[in-house]
Amino acid sequence: MKNLQPIPSKSLKKATVISLEKGKIPPQAVELEEAVLGAMMIDKKGVDDVIDILHPEAFYKESHQFIYEAIYTLFQNSEPTDLLTVANQLRKTGHLELAGGDFYLVGLTQKVSSSAHIEFHARIILQKYIQRKLISISSEIIEESYDETVDVFDLLDSAETKLFEVTQGNLKKGSEDAQGLVNQAIKKIQEISNKQGMSGIATGFTRLDELTSGWQPSDLVILAARPGMGKTAFVMSMAKNMAIDFDEPVAIFSLEMSSVQLITRMISSETGISSGKLRKGNLEPHEWEQLNVKVKNLSKAPIFIDDTPSLSIFDLRAKARRLASQHGIKIIIIDYLQLMTAGSSQKGGGNREQEISTISRNLKALAKELSIPVIALSQLSRAVETRGGSKRPLLSDLRESGAIEQDADIVSFIYRPEYYGLTEWDDEERTPCEGQAEFIVAKHRNGGLDNIRLKFTGHLAQFSNLDEDYGNEFHSKMNSAISQSQIPSAEDAFGAPDNFDDNDVPF
């Protein structure tokens, strides 16, 4: 016992400092939590400013979580929020002592004099919560990664779902005032005037561009057809037009075909050499020369292809954000929707219709987030084949989920009568339909409906304007207007007031 010596206070203090320096404290902003709660109890405006930003779990101290929960309950019940009502609500739930008692509540209200800067403070609190949540999720992932009994793909799905929930639950966009929105609208009208009514991304298909004014930012476009109708051929023709003719960066997510197969189709369409010859490599000398010359434009085109199979919606969002920030993509094409997964960790526990519904809802959210059009190909049910007559597809033929029709801004179909052995269109003139297809716009949230006939060249897997002269004239005028960058008068852009018609509005 005589060898035991008391530890000097100086040494003890030094040891404490060392342990704190080596330790880690979770991200927190307790002083800001106190300021926010105090401001909410003395100023109703403070409650209105942050009630849709924070939730109880965002607070680091448990006592603060109880206090905020009481304030939130009072707000939901349209009751006044002040020191007395909050204390009374905490008594009702039996959490007053856990929240620190009356004395602590009084102290919170004395720390602030107004709700100034409360929204800024609330967003810092939310950032600290997100950091803590990410640390927690990362720790769980690390722990599960050491467990040899856990399937690695289940682990990936679980990680995706947890991170996606953090994003969905905490990143919210605020409202905008009329003045800012009016300024944005005027700027957009000027841009549209520059492009002679082409407010979106031009497809290169003349009559379709006239109907839609191009694919619009934040729109979800569904293109559906039965297998073999040419869905992939259509979007590949369209992507080539966009990237080569209009220099618009295009992202293609192909879940069915490899990236080399897709680019081979584009090469066939661009060079006029059949895809069969390209697959076999059986080319004549002049075709080799033709291939080397015409493929140069395609090789320089801003086209980005990702052929990851069974792509989840979480992976798609991550990849799309990266392409948008690094390459400024202006449109996303997905081939096709039914091959995607929702990324849920619950295997077999969900309904396929619910999964498709989740995917379509998130595709629409992605289009809005990046402010670019998203085009998703989709399959049609076999009900088309069992119908008599022309077998032209209907909205009710969309496969697996009515939510696709609900979420989409445009629902369209590809229809080729030749596929069913028909030789004439079902119109009054009974015109021949050989080498032709129909692009059917069956739903258009912001415009009219139409059945647009196109030329289909099977051996090249290529769609083009049925009336090439008309199409070339229209798009040459549009390119000329863009290059000149001249803003016409309101009368030139939209017509004289007496002749104004709602259908002329380019939105």
DSSP 216: P
Long-range contacts for 70-73 (Cβ within 8 Å, ≥24 apart)? 70/95, 70/99, 71/37, 71/40, 71/41, 71/47
Q: Order the strands of the 374-379 sheet from edge to edge.
A: 303-306, 250-254, 331-335, 374-379, 220-225, 410-415, 436-444, 450-457, 462-465
CB of 416 closer than 8 Å to CB of 437: yes
CB of 121 closer than 8 Å to CB of 35: yes
Residues in the chain, how many? 507
In angstroms, the CA 247 to CA 281 distance is 30
**Selected catalytic residue, list 256, 287, 353, 418:** 256
Q: Is 256 a catalytic residue?
A: yes
CB of 236 closer than 8 Å to CB of 263: no
Residue 121 burial (C-beta neighbours within 10 Å; 0-12, 13-18, 19+): buried
CA-nearest of 275, 255, 257 to 265 is 275
Which amino acid, 130?
Answer: I
Which amino acid, 168?
Answer: Q
In angstroms, the CA 48 to CA 175 distance is 13
**314-330 burial code (b ≥16 CB/10 A, e <16):** bbbbebbeebbeeeebb
User: Where does 177-283 have alpha helices with state H?
Assistant: 178-194, 206-212, 231-240, 259-271, 275-280
Task: Count CB-CB contacts under 10 A for residue 489.
Answer: 8
Q: Which helix (H) or strand (E) holds 435?
A: none
CB of 427 closer than 8 Å to CB of 411: no
83-93 and 101-110 helices cross at what angle (nearest 10)?
A: 150
CA-nearest of 194, 142, 138 to 166 is 138
CB of 191 closer than 8 Å to CB of 199: yes
DSSP 281-308: T---HHHHHHHHHHHHHHHTS-EEEE--
In angstroms, the CA 34 to CA 157 distance is 38
CB of 397 closer than 8 Å to CB of 347: no
- Active-site positions read 256
